[in-house]
Amino acid sequence: MSAKIRLYVEHPLAPGQPVPMSRDQAHYLFGVMRLDVGAAVALFNGRDGEWLAQVTEAGKRGGTLVCETQTRPLQLPPDLWLLFAPIKKARTDFIVEKAAEMGAARIVPVQTDFTNSERIRQDRLQAHAIEAAEQCGGTYVPEVTDLQKLSRLLDTWPADRQLMFCDEAEAGSALRLASEARNKPWAILIGPEGGFSEAERKRLHAMEQSHIVSLGPRILRADTAAVAAMTLWQQALGDWA
């Protein structure tokens, strides 16, 4: 028995464990996808790996699946945060989705001096991260935090967390990400459409943890920059290497 549908749940997963479906999940499985009793579904919760489960109850407003066997263990991503300034709604959604797919452990929207957005829908962005994990085969869902001021975040920046600062004003190189930093906690910082202010740039350059990199000779859109930066980091220091 194999499953064509993967579903994120918050319930514990273990052999013989019944997992109740919410109304929305039941509508998706039994109304939209037309599954019935006996159908197989792959379940994961970000803690217990992926499990093959069988539908034992199916209804319009609810249902139950029972776990049978673990099909994949929990695969944790590298200890990597993605910090980015929110932009237009669809492109912010894209950044969150791709960050989840590419292996970010935590996704942090930040408000910089030139950030246009002053608020986000954290719950909606978290839902996009869950959907991305469901679709890409991941067993871990990164946390999407609420919007934070970059200045306050830097005030309490952990001493051991390295920072890949993608500065469009610099002609740096991703090769500065030395291999000896592979096992350290990291973060990637992507700026807003208007770039960083001089005060922000000066502060970031002065940080001992900063690694200044360039994403090439052309100025990239913020959503493109996020994907490019994560690709460079994963190839140099992450679990792609």
| Two tokens, residue 12 | 């514990």
The yes-or-no verdict on residue 172 having pLDDT over 60 is no
Using a pLDDT cut of 90, give the percent of the chain over it.
75
pTM value surpassing 0.85: yes
What confidence category does residue 174 fall into, taking pLDDT thresholds of 50, 70 and 90?
A: very low
Rounded distance between C-alpha atoms, residue 81 and residue 236, angstroms: 16
The yes-or-no verdict on residue 161 having pLDDT over 50 is yes
Question: Per-residue pLDDT tens for 13-53?
Answer: 999 999 999 999 999 999 999 999 999 999 999 999 999 99
| Two tokens, residue 98 | 């791709």
- Report the SS3 class of residue 94: helix
> Helix count (H) and strand count (E) of the chain?
6, 12
Specify burial of residue 203 (Cβ count, 10 A radius: 0-12, 13-18, 19+): middle
The yes-or-no verdict on residue 62 having pLDDT over 70 is yes
Q: Which 8-state DSSP code applies to residue 217?
A: S
Q: What is the average per-residue pLDDT within 119-133?
A: 95
